[in-house]
Amino acid sequence: MEPLKLLSKIREQKPLIHHLTNWVTIYDCANVVRAFGALPVMAHAQEEVEEMTGIAGALVLNIGTLTPGFINSMMKAGKTANKKGIPVVLDVVGAGATRLRTESCAKLMKELDIGVLKGNAGEIGVLAGVEAEVRGVESISVSGDIRELAEKLAVEMNSTVAVTGKQDVISDGSKTYTVDNGHDYMSMIVGTGCMAASVIGCFTAVEADYAVAAASALGLYGLSAERAAEKSQGPGTFKQIWFDEIHALQKHDAQGLRIRHV
Amino acid sequence: MEPLKLLSKIREQKPLIHHLTNWVTIYDCANVVRAFGALPVMAHAQEEVEEMTGIAGALVLNIGTLTPGFINSMMKAGKTANKKGIPVVLDVVGAGATRLRTESCAKLMKELDIGVLKGNAGEIGVLAGVEAEVRGVESISVSGDIRELAEKLAVEMNSTVAVTGKQDVISDGSKTYTVDNGHDYMSMIVGTGCMAASVIGCFTAVEADYAVAAASALGLYGLSAERAAEKSQGPGTFKQIWFDEIHALQKHDAQGLRIRHV
Amino acid sequence: MEPLKLLSKIREQKPLIHHLTNWVTIYDCANVVRAFGALPVMAHAQEEVEEMTGIAGALVLNIGTLTPGFINSMMKAGKTANKKGIPVVLDVVGAGATRLRTESCAKLMKELDIGVLKGNAGEIGVLAGVEAEVRGVESISVSGDIRELAEKLAVEMNSTVAVTGKQDVISDGSKTYTVDNGHDYMSMIVGTGCMAASVIGCFTAVEADYAVAAASALGLYGLSAERAAEKSQGPGTFKQIWFDEIHALQKHDAQGLRIRHV
């Protein structure tokens, strides 16, 4: 796996990453895509999503502030992506917290071919059918081993599953990676999880092996956070410096990356 | 009043603070809740608001970018909160600037049991029925004494009224507090008022005396801003450092808090 | 042209800048208006846009996350502005990327009297009817000379056209300005273009010659970015420092402004 080579590809090709995402972290999702070198676009009107997805390198769906109408737009965009072979990343924000969220995820997972399903442990637990608690958009608890959960759900869905947390676990059912990069500050600010899905989107646009793409994305994302944290006084100033470090990634070697094939 | 004890409670219990809020400052509202130690969630679909409010520690309603449909969702969430005894904070953004805003506030105030009504002087003046001018979301003028206004409206509504400004005034009709913490930079950036309502939401989730909760919230909020301003070069860099200082609050004593029972 | 005199006027008069804008950069648009000294308000409900526009000093329309319903609200607000002589700035975000965007722009341009039409080279090229490529919201290519394009479209529309880019070009058909202020960091973060339209809105509220207003706005906007870049470690930290520098503009002389009448 050569994450920095994928990063270079993103910066050369500048793929369009089409988002249908939530209104809370939408700016950060766009900005992190720009920092990694791709071009973000946010467009959700039913009248234009198919056309916009059609010119995209990847589609990121994030249900953070969903409505039924918004899910319809996601379905349209997702079907276009599937027809054209454009990777789809689904961030299942708050799955398990309300029926609307859980059922909307189930519907999207059933009717679309999801390239990477991304969530925290609680969300993925809920969707894998094990006991789990999600409070709002926060994972409170999950029963069972996260790696096994990811592998089981990946096989069932025939896609890649990325579980983010202190240790990220990524599996496509036949192979599994862990990523140990990251910093506590990431969990102390809003948007870290959403941005992770957007970054995964960037990497799927240039790497057809989505497990490799997702692991590379999460590794570089976490590594840049570590570097930023060292220079920060707290989680507030950390966030801006993090963007600096993402922009600077190309200049660094990948020393410190802790991606393991397990 | 022991604001830091309430802060500790928030950080231990991590209550969910459910928001139906505006699209301008929604990120900051979520992020400040996280900085104070609670868990934010933003969810507005009529299909899920009752369920989400049902698991929340407080509900924050902010009409900054209202539509009639959004007000309907607020009503549903608010009624659930009232039924379950969950505190409701209403931020009356722009009341007085348009009929839609003034009337929507009146409707929410009439049909819901509001725990804390929060606004700037102009907005509260309009709702209390005195002469006042609100330009967009900015208080331009108000006739009469703010403390008397707050007390009068608190008695009429049988709730707590928090008027934010250079000096904050909080009254539940039987007792009144002033808070003199804060810094000019707060009025030079967008979102300060909205975040204040979200912070009040956090404190009402752990303190049943809402006047005490609101005064504690505004005191610590302003105090952290003062500390941040000292380290800042201007209102732009101030904002990030402010989040650092909120995260760091626990480590400090409360020296410098200027909350007075008047 | 005396940009700093216009800035002083904005800070004295504090005009209300009413936005119907996108959900991605809405915070930054509001915050930059505040930094320049005007009062931002974001309001999009059909039930209140006419009333809100009626008390505004300028109206900024930005189609970044448009829907047909949102365009209807823009039309209502725009007609009110036209009737009252309030300047309208239209930011044609993503024109050319989808039919919905291109057609919505055409409709707004046809039915409203646009004071300043603002876009990047690709967007303006599409609307001027020349060959151009827009990927999402990014200008990829345009055929022909930008200055000629701007002049031609300005004459056709009888309004001012502002084309932003490494060099900004502003024309009202009878006179044309270029602005060479700015820094590469501006293109490395999301929101720079949207904020530019909001800043132009502030200046049109105090200067009836819209070409002068737009050139002054873009000059000071770019100049403050240059100053911020010098103090920044990267595009992340740059953004906050940029806001500091905008707030500090008044204290500086205008040395370094590179606005030319061409």
Q: pLDDT digit string (tens) for B229-247? A: 999 999 999 999 999 999 9
Task: Considering only the beta carbons, identify the residue of C23, C43, C247 that sits closest to B234.
Answer: C247
User: Are B83 and B53 contacting, i.e. CB atoms less than 8 angstroms apart?
Assistant: no
Task: Considering only the beta carbons, identify the residue of A42, A48, A248 that sits closest to C234.
Answer: A248
Task: Considering only the beta carbons, identify the residue of B14, B18, B244 that sits closest to A233.
Answer: B244
Rounded Cα gap, residues C96 and C78, in angstroms: 22
DSSP state of B148: H
| CB contact (8 A) between residue A237 and residue B246 | no
> Which tokens is A60 given?
């990121």
| CB contact (8 A) between residue A27 and residue C24 | yes
The pTM of this model reads 0.97
pLDDT at B164: 98
Report which of residues A34 and B253 the model is more confident about.
Answer: A34
Task: Considering only the beta carbons, identify the residue of B135, B190, B240 that sits closest to C27.
Answer: B190
Residue C172 to chain A, least CA–CA distance (Å): 30
For the beta carbon of residue B261, count every other beta carbon within 10 angstroms: 11
Residue C9 to chain A, least CA–CA distance (Å): 31
Find chain A residues with C-beta within 8 A of B58's C-beta: none
Tell which residue, B49, B61, B123, B68, has the closest CA to residue B87: B61
Q: Residues B194-208: what's their mean pLDDT? A: 98
Q: Which residues of A have a CB under 8 Å from any CB of C? A: 14, 16, 18, 23, 26-27, 30-31, 34-35, 39-45, 47-48, 51-52, 55-56, 239-248
Per-residue pLDDT of chain A (262 residues; tens, 9 = 90+): 899 999 999 999 999 999 999 999 999 999 999 999 999 999 999 999 999 999 999 999 999 999 999 999 999 999 999 999 999 999 999 999 999 999 999 999 999 999 999 999 999 999 999 999 999 999 999 998 999 999 999 999 999 999 999 999 999 999 999 999 999 999 999 999 999 999 999 999 999 999 999 999 999 999 999 999 999 999 999 999 999 999 999 877 889 999 999 9
Chain B, chain C: beta-carbon pairs less than 8 Å apart: 100
> Which tokens is B166 given?
């250079």
Task: Give the whole-number percent of chain B exceeding pLDDT 90.
Answer: 97
Question: What domains can be seen in chain B, in order of their start residue?
Answer: 3-261 (3.40.1190.20)
A160-164 sheet: strands from edge to edge:
A39-42, A16-20, A58-62, A88-91, A116-120, A160-164, A168-171, A176-179, A259-261
pLDDT at A252: 74
Find chain B residues with C-beta within 8 A of A28's C-beta: 27
Instruction: Give all chains having 3 or more CB-to-CB distances under 8 Å with chain B.
Output: A, C
| CB contact (8 A) between residue C65 and residue A55 | no
Tell which residue, A82, A159, A79, A83, has the closest CA to residue A119: A159
Q: What is the mean pLDDT of chain C?
A: 97
Find chain A residues with C-beta within 8 A of B51's C-beta: 97-100
Per DSSP bridges, beta strands B138-142 and B132-135 are: antiparallel
pLDDT at C76: 98
| CB contact (8 A) between residue C43 and residue B22 | no
pLDDT at A250: 83
Paired strand residues for C163: C119, C169
pLDDT at B226: 98
User: Are A210 and A204 contacting, i.e. CB atoms less than 8 angstroms apart?
Assistant: yes
User: Are C79 and C114 contacting, i.e. CB atoms less than 8 angstroms apart?
Assistant: no
| CB contact (8 A) between residue C27 and residue A23 | no
Task: Considering only the beta carbons, identify the residue of B27, B135, B189 that sits closest to C55.
Answer: B135
Task: Considering only the beta carbons, identify the residue of C68, C97, C234 that sits closest to A244.
Answer: C234
Find chain A residues with C-beta within 8 A of B27's C-beta: 24-25, 27-28, 190-191
Least confident interval from A173-177, C141-145, C209-213: C141-145
For the beta carbon of residue B17, count every other beta carbon within 10 angstroms: 32
| CB contact (8 A) between residue A52 and residue C136 | yes
For the beta carbon of residue B123, count every other beta carbon within 10 angstroms: 30
| CB contact (8 A) between residue B234 and residue C245 | yes
What are the helix (H) ranges across A129-191?
A: 146-157
Task: Considering only the beta carbons, identify the residue of B30, B35, B48 that sits closest to A101.
Answer: B48
User: Are B84 and B54 contacting, i.e. CB atoms less than 8 angstroms apart?
Assistant: yes
Taking each helix axis as running N to C, give the angle between helix A235-248 and helix A26-36, from 0 to 180 degrees, rounded to the nearest 10.
Answer: 30
Rounded Cα gap, residues C55 and C147, in angstroms: 35
User: Are B136 and B112 contacting, i.e. CB atoms less than 8 angstroms apart?
Assistant: no
Which one of B14, B16, B21, B42 would you mutate to disrupt binding with A, by most A Cβ within 10 Å of its Cβ? B42
Task: Considering only the beta carbons, identify the residue of C39, C45, C243 that sits closest to B236.
Answer: C243
User: DSSP letters of C225-246?
Assistant: HHHHHHT-SSHHHHHHHHHHHH
Per residue in B31-75, pLDDT (tens digit) is 999 999 999 999 999 999 999 999 999 999 999 999 999 999 999
| CB contact (8 A) between residue B235 and residue C40 | no
Paired strand residues for A18: A41, A59
pLDDT at C221: 98
| CB contact (8 A) between residue B23 and residue A27 | no
Which one of A243, A245, A246, A250 would you mutate to disrupt binding with C, by most C Cβ within 10 Å of its Cβ? A243
Find chain C residues with C-beta within 8 A of A244's C-beta: 232-237
pLDDT at A222: 98
Residue B175 to chain A, least CA–CA distance (Å): 34
In chain A, whose CA is at the least distance from the CA of B243?
Answer: A236
- Amino acid, single-letter form, for residue A165: G
pLDDT at C250: 83
Find chain C residues with C-beta within 8 A of A16's C-beta: 135-136
User: DSSP letters of B112-136?
Assistant: S--SEEEEEHHHHHHHHTS-EEEET
Find chain B residues with C-beta within 8 A of A191's C-beta: 27, 31
pLDDT at C193: 98
Residue C255 to chain B, least CA–CA distance (Å): 21
Residue C21 to chain B, least CA–CA distance (Å): 10
Tell me the CB-side half-sphere exposure of residue C169, using CA atoms within 13 A.
18
pLDDT at C252: 74
Instruction: Give all chains having 3 or more CB-to-CB distances under 8 Å with chain A.
Output: B, C
Tell which residue, A152, A135, A147, A209, has the closest CA to residue A179: A147
| CB contact (8 A) between residue B18 and residue A136 | yes
pLDDT tier at C1 (50, 70, 90 boundaries)?
confident
User: Are A133 and A96 contacting, i.e. CB atoms less than 8 angstroms apart?
Assistant: yes
ipTM value greater than 0.85: yes
In chain A, whose CA is at the least distance from the CA of C65?
Answer: A43
Q: Residues B131-149: what's their mean pLDDT? A: 93
> Which tokens is B32 given?
């400040």
pLDDT at C253: 81
pLDDT at A2: 93
Instruction: Give all chains having 3 or more CB-to-CB distances under 8 Å with chain C.
Output: A, B
Task: Give the whole-number percent of chain C exceeding pLDDT 90.
Answer: 97
- Amino acid, single-letter form, for residue B193: G
